[in-house]
Structure 1
Amino acid sequence: MDVREATTDDVDEIREIARASLNSSYTDFLDEELIDSALENWYGEEFEEELAGEHTIALLVERDGELAGFSQSELVGQRYNSGNILWLHIHPDHRGGGIGVRLLVRTREKLLDEGADQIHGFVLADNEGGNQFYRDHGFDRAGQRDVEIGGETFTENVYVEGTEDEGWAAVDELEIEDETVYVSYGEAAKGSKSPFYAAYRTEDRKDRFGWFCGNCDTVDNAMDAMGRIECNTCGNRRKATRWDASYL
């Protein structure tokens, strides 16, 4: 799985992923004509201009050489106090296998790196799957707002990243090298290319497995006595440190 920033050359494929995703998850309350109208408004010329601006972040996820999904976010506030995840779409053909949560994680990392102090997620209230996704991955509902789509008004739930003592509560179950591991994204150490995340053998996070490299999605790494970690696959490195500090 590879994640990269979107460019204006990707707009047509972004629109098609959004179309497939909306038609898969939203047709219970959005008809096809409304979806088509919304896509033209959201991903037309104005979107290309937004991509070139400093406040919009769009990330694409690729799997097996195909674009599988994208996230669209914005930085708001006084340099910046909020990173808002507006859309996170995974093409129906690529759902499952943890792509959604890993795209969420990379989007969160990017927003924090760009200066956001807090992460919010937005999802239409009628999208049961989308709401459950945020609840399952460390977000709490903080409020609601009205949004207009094609001249109709809908309710959107606003989620805020949880503040548990352990840090961000998102945990992902992955199959790596024929073994099930549980990656805790709230326990992280900053690396040279991407954070390393604590990995466990059990979901209750009591039996430690090692470290999961956020850059190449492997657990093939080593730590020395000074706390340095180096990924044997991609060369991602964590410097020596006196203590473990979560990348929050």
Structure 2
Amino acid sequence: MDVREATHDDASGIRRVAEASLEATYAGQLGDDIVDAAAEEWYGGDRLDDRLDADDVVYLVVVDGDEVVAFSESELDVRQPEGDASGSSAGVAAIQWLHVHPDHRGRGFGGRLLERTEAALFERTANRVEGRVLAANEEGNEFYQASGYARTGERTLDIGGDSYTEHLYVKLPEGNAAELTEEHEVEDGTVFVAYDERERGSRAPFYAAYRTQDRQRRYGFYCAACGSLDTSMNSMGRIQCESCDNKRKATRWDSSYL
């Protein structure tokens, strides 16, 4: 067994693993039509080639013999510290997918792949690694919890016209003291930005902002591209910064994908 960076030669193996894993894990929850459409959207056409070439994407594969049996797809994102014009940034990494082919589960491939994925992300300046799993995927939730991830929250997703809960997880590198909640002053008081509740943006992430440190009163979103809290969200969940052109990018389960 070998864990290494993926190449374009691995594309067909990645697609095969993704299709089998999505079918085994989610078809019973979401239905075959949604799973088939998701696999085609994410791993068909040019998208996979573009992702393999992207500088902010880390793709690792597990190869057993000559066969790809598992892979992880992760994204690196950054936020600009408030008041810092130097261009320095703190890295945030999100594991978008970690798939093991159903025929090769139970052999420890998932755990070893996760360890190598974390190491690769931390080496690329990530100060934390995030994972997201549908609540109904009990095996996936247990996997993150057993791997030292802390569950930090949840959010509601619209998938194929139905609502599903997704659990949010985070893991810090050993010895890291990163603050996951940060105070920001606004005209009418203080808000608390939660750096473990992130939405992907076209220029930089959006982070959830709250009126209270216990995160009981929602305020809105903090734009990491320009440091503004002047953001809006429409009824379709589209977030936009009113101070710059940063917009929320579609996530893996957005209805716009399917």
- Shorter-chain TM-score range: 0.5 to 0.7
Who is 2:215 aligned against? none
Aligned with 1:91 (options 97, 101, 111): 101
| TM-superposed deviation, 1:80 | 4.3
**Aligned: 1:38 with 2:38:** yes
Segments of structure 1 that go 5 or more residues without pairing to the other structure are: 168-248
**Aligned: 1:161 with 2:198:** no
Q: How does 1:1-248 map to 2 (within 5 A)?
A: 1-44=1-44, 45-78=46-79, 79-150=89-160, 152-161=162-171
Change (3 A) 1:118 1:162: closer
Segments of structure 2 that go 5 or more residues without pairing to the other structure are: 80-88, 178-258
| Aligned partner letter, 1:26 | Y
The whole-number CA distance in structure 2 between the counterparts of 1:60 and 1:144 is 28
| TM-superposed deviation, 1:147 | 3.9
Residues 29-57 of structure 1: CA deviation (Å, up to 9, x unaligned): 12111111011111131232122111111
The whole-number CA distance in structure 1 between the counterparts of 2:77 and 2:95 is 11
- Given that 2:128 and 2:173 are in contact with CA atoms closer than 8 Å, whether structure 1 keeps it comes out as no
| Aligned partner letter, 2:118 | R
The whole-number CA distance in structure 2 between the counterparts of 1:48 and 1:149 is 25
Residues 109-155 of structure 1: CA deviation (Å, up to 9, x unaligned): 00011110111111111100000001111011111234454565532
Which deviates the most, 105-114 or 118-127? 118-127
Which deviates the most, 22-31 or 141-150? 141-150
| TM-superposed deviation, 1:64 | 3.0
**DSSP-derived class of the 1:54 partner:** coil
Identity of aligned residues (%): 44
Who is 1:214 aligned against? none
The whole-number CA distance in structure 2 between the counterparts of 1:147 and 1:86 is 15
**DSSP-derived class of the 2:126 partner:** coil
| Aligned partner letter, 2:100 | I
Residues 170-213 of structure 1: CA deviation (Å, up to 9, x unaligned): xxxxxxxxxxxxxxxxxxxxxxxxxxxxxxxxxxxxxxxxxxxx
The whole-number CA distance in structure 2 between the counterparts of 1:4 and 1:75 is 18
**DSSP-derived class of the 1:96 partner:** coil
Q: TM-score, normalised by structure 2?
A: 0.59
Residues 202-225 of structure 1: CA deviation (Å, up to 9, x unaligned): xxxxxxxxxxxxxxxxxxxxxxxx
The whole-number CA distance in structure 2 between the counterparts of 1:22 and 1:101 is 18
Which of structures 1 and 2 has the larger relative contact order (alpha carbons within 8 angstroms, sep 6+)?
2
**DSSP-derived class of the 1:74 partner:** strand
| TM-superposed deviation, 1:73 | 0.4
**DSSP-derived class of the 1:29 partner:** helix
**DSSP-derived class of the 2:127 partner:** coil
- Given that 1:58 and 1:70 are in contact with CA atoms closer than 8 Å, whether structure 2 keeps it comes out as yes
Which deviates the most, 48-57 or 125-134? 48-57
**DSSP-derived class of the 2:28 partner:** coil
- Given that 2:13 and 2:69 are in contact with CA atoms closer than 8 Å, whether structure 1 keeps it comes out as no
Q: TM-score, normalised by structure 1?
A: 0.61
**DSSP-derived class of the 2:74 partner:** strand
**DSSP-derived class of the 2:121 partner:** helix
**DSSP-derived class of the 2:27 partner:** coil
Change (3 A) 1:105 1:163: closer
Which deviates the most, 76-85 or 53-62? 76-85
Give RMSD over aligned pairs.
Answer: 2.3
